[in-house]
Structure 1
Amino acid sequence: MDVRIVTDSTAYLPPDLAREHAVTVVPLHVVVGGQEHVEGVGITAQEVAKALREHTVVTTSRPAPEVFLDTYRRLADEGATSIVSVHLSGQMSGTVESARLAAADAPVPVEVLDSGTIGMAMGYAALAGARAAAAGAGPGEVRTAIEARLGPSRILFYVHTLEHLRRGGRIGAASALLGSALAIKPILTVRDGRIVPVEKVRTAARAIARIEALVVEQVRAGGTAVDLAVHHLDAAERAEELAAHLRERVPEAREVRVLELGAVVGAHVGPSTLAIAVSPRPAEPVGSAQPESGPGSEGDP
């Protein structure tokens, strides 16, 4: 069988990894000051950060079902006998619903998965599915490989302000923090597909240090090898510093990547955001494996 993997641009998979593992990425759209852009085409994350700082209206939109259907048809024409399509949380976006509508008309079987998360917490799962498919797994085994990565994965993030999440309607249970938003720096996570608060601290430095500590605690408790991705929006220096700390403190990490958040997620979390995606590798004893992604795995893609 020839099983293909599809995901969306909010996985923030490095293009080289997507190409290497034949993962097809369907982009979401971002609208800045009334002008629509395809994520990754014609607009940068830095431009979105600048627009947000200047209080320009920035919104996002999901791909139309027709875009997914065209993608599924193209993959079928290329020889795919089935497709597994994994997307950001349906609680945050209608993207997964667009994929499901398209799947009903696809020329080959398409299984659509709601990852319940975002960023490389989803991206690493898509890669796990792609590796299983390349090894000859059928669609059921590919789904199992994806879900095995999604289950224990976690994304923790610090936002400089909750205002952008509030404007975009993505704030979820973290809305309870709004009354004291000026006095605190929140640590958030995604649970059951929704953004929820973890802790609140008084300064950005303490928030970042606490995220780092929470990741170290999770990895030690899990007892398996992990992949880590430090996401940021217009905060490259802090992200690199955080990644350096994690490389020192988390020997279980097979790779630690620094990846800028794209325009779509950036529009909702705002400039200076830092996030860490933690993706444990199932059933892999610590110290038994080599990096899966080659020489560039411990730096920028």
Structure 2
Amino acid sequence: MPADLAIVTDSTAYLPQDAVDRHGITVVPLSVAVGDEVLADGVEITPKELAEALRAKHRVTTSRPNPETFAAAYRGAAEAGARGVVSVHLSGELSGTCEAARLAAAEAPIPVRVVDSRLVGMALGYSVLTAARSAADGLGLDEVAAAAVRRAAHTSGFFYVDTLEHLRRGGRIGAARALLGSALAVKPLLHLSGGRIEPLEKVRTASRAIARLEEIAVERAGDRRVDLTVHHLAAEDRAELLAERLRERIPGLCELYVGEVGAVIGAHVGTGLLAVVLSPR
């Protein structure tokens, strides 16, 4: 990609590494604390290690990012010859990441446009990829940021968790808190709405919840041309099976990616997560 504009995101996009390399995207790792040890997401702790820590009942928390981590990325872009940066991040309703990026942008040596995708995971990732492709096509700073916003506005994410407990502990549960009283009797399906985690449906068993997740994805995709990601945490077999079913059932499927979420999101959803991200072309 030409160095005119740099694209920056954070590690919760969980982009495939080949896409990061191909488009020259800078990924700023966020941090997770396991006990008293603070580790960089995807750099110093893997999804497998995070899952092991959760199963062992270790205290796992996330914290507000330091603006300096973004400032360093923006300085690096300027030193590499970029004349501007589009910095696309996870929902400001879920994290202080966008605010940290904006603080850093105010002091950056080149213009920076910070985009709150109001999403997370590959829902965020598709917005980042659109920004990268738009920059490669020669669009200007504001046009690239606007393209990222448009892609985000049409992207949706639905997910299943084995328990709401991790979301409750992390304070990310939003209106889904209403499900807590019956948490033992239901397997909740949740979605991203307005940048927040909201309840979608209550299902009685895990198998029914996963089947319903499949149906929702098929219904929402319709006949449109869509990119799709199946995310999971320590549930690879279930994710691969779900992906295969969706490959068979969605006629307009373009690109399909199966990927495990990392430590920052994993800390809030727990093992057993299954998520489907749909992003129309």
Same fold, judged at TM 0.5 (above): yes
The one-letter amino acid of 1:99's match is A
- Alignment correspondent of 1:292: none
- Of 5, 23, 26 in structure 1, the residue corresponding to residue 25 of structure 2 is 23
* 1:4 positional shift: 1.3
- Of 81, 99, 102 in structure 2, the residue corresponding to residue 100 of structure 1 is 102
The one-letter amino acid of 2:88's match is V
3-state SS, counterpart of residue 280 of structure 2: strand
- Alignment correspondent of 1:261: 261
**What CA distance in whole angstroms lies between the structure 2 residues aligned with 1:85 and 1:43?**
24
Runs of 4+ in 1 over 4 A off after TM superposition: none
1:188 paired to 2:190: yes
**Per the alignment, do residues 224 and 148 of structure 1 end up closer, same or farther by CA in structure 2, a change over 3 Å counting?**
farther
3-state SS, counterpart of residue 225 of structure 2: strand
- Alignment correspondent of 2:228: 228
**What CA distance in whole angstroms lies between the structure 2 residues aligned with 1:23 and 1:43?**
21
- Could you tell me whether the CA contact under 8 Å between 1:125 and 1:146 is conserved in 2? yes
Residue segments in structure 1 that go unaligned for 5+ positions in a row: 282-301
Residue segments in structure 2 that go unaligned for 5+ positions in a row: none
- Could you tell me whether the CA contact under 8 Å between 1:185 and 1:200 is conserved in 2? yes
- Could you tell me whether the CA contact under 8 Å between 1:27 and 1:63 is conserved in 2? no
- Alignment correspondent of 2:51: 49
**What CA distance in whole angstroms lies between the structure 1 residues aligned with 2:129 and 2:257?**
14
Report the TM-score, using the length of structure 1 for normalisation.
0.91
- Alignment correspondent of 1:298: none
**What CA distance in whole angstroms lies between the structure 2 residues aligned with 1:207 and 1:101?**
41
3-state SS, counterpart of residue 7 of structure 1: strand
**What CA distance in whole angstroms lies between the structure 2 residues aligned with 1:36 and 1:240?**
31
**What CA distance in whole angstroms lies between the structure 2 residues aligned with 1:176 and 1:86?**
31
- Alignment correspondent of 1:124: 126
- Alignment correspondent of 1:200: 202
* 1:50 positional shift: 1.6
* 1:253 positional shift: 1.1
Report the TM-score, using the length of structure 2 for normalisation.
0.97
- Of 163, 166, 181 in structure 2, the residue corresponding to residue 164 of structure 1 is 166
**What CA distance in whole angstroms lies between the structure 2 residues aligned with 1:181 and 1:54?**
22
**What CA distance in whole angstroms lies between the structure 2 residues aligned with 1:175 and 1:280?**
30
The one-letter amino acid of 1:117's match is L
The one-letter amino acid of 1:134's match is A
- Could you tell me whether the CA contact under 8 Å between 1:45 and 1:261 is conserved in 2? yes
* 1:149 positional shift: 1.0
- Could you tell me whether the CA contact under 8 Å between 1:89 and 1:117 is conserved in 2? yes
**What CA distance in whole angstroms lies between the structure 2 residues aligned with 1:140 and 1:110?**
10
What are the Cα deviations for residues 213-263 of structure 1, in whole angstroms up to 9, with x where unaligned?
Answer: 11111111xx43111010000000000000000100012110111100101
Q: What do you get for the CA RMSD once the two structures are aligned?
A: 1.0
- Alignment correspondent of 1:247: 247
3-state SS, counterpart of residue 73 of structure 2: helix
3-state SS, counterpart of residue 114 of structure 2: strand
**What CA distance in whole angstroms lies between the structure 1 residues aligned with 2:202 and 2:233?**
20
The one-letter amino acid of 2:23's match is H
- Of 198, 209, 212 in structure 1, the residue corresponding to residue 211 of structure 2 is 209
* 1:140 positional shift: 1.8
Give identity over the alignment, percent. 59
**What CA distance in whole angstroms lies between the structure 2 residues aligned with 1:135 and 1:121?**
22
- Could you tell me whether the CA contact under 8 Å between 2:113 and 2:142 is conserved in 1? no
Query: Which structure 2 residues correspond to residues 258-297 of structure 1 after superposition, within 5 A?
Result: 258-281=258-281
**What CA distance in whole angstroms lies between the structure 1 residues aligned with 2:83 and 2:253?**
35
What are the Cα deviations for residues 152-181 of structure 1, in whole angstroms up to 9, with x where unaligned?
Answer: 110000000000000111111100000000
- Alignment correspondent of 1:288: none
